[in-house]
Amino acid sequence: MPAASPEQIARSFTVSATSIIDGTADLRTYPHRYLSVVSSGPPSTALPEVLSCAQFLGQFGWELVNVTDLGASRITNAILRRG
């Protein structure tokens, strides 16, 4: 799956955890204060993935606000705020 463009990320306020881990997400021009980092799969793998992304993005001024596991849909969502 190709990485989302900076414009797509800005338009949707969402980036995949995989693209952050792979280093293909470009957030340098991201214009918003809030960002959603999403991962799909069982919580045992998705939760560590989004938390790792939150920790990584912390060095660039992002703070973790909330994590939600949308159980039946198998999507874990971390909301971050740029400080």
Q: What are the pLDDT digits (tens) for 24-61?
A: 999 999 999 999 999 999 888 999 999 999 999 999 99
Residues in the chain: 83
Q: What are the residue boundaries of the structural domains of the chain, listed by start?
A: 6-82
What is the C-alpha separation between 35 and 32, in angstroms, rounded?
Answer: 7
pTM of the prediction? 0.92
Q: Which CATH number fits domain 6-82: 3.40.980, 3.30.110, 1.10.3470, 1.10.8?
A: 3.30.110
Q: What is the pLDDT of residue 1?
A: 52
Q: What average pLDDT is seen over the chain?
A: 93
Query: What is the mean predicted confidence (pLDDT) over 4-25?
Result: 95
SS3 13: coil
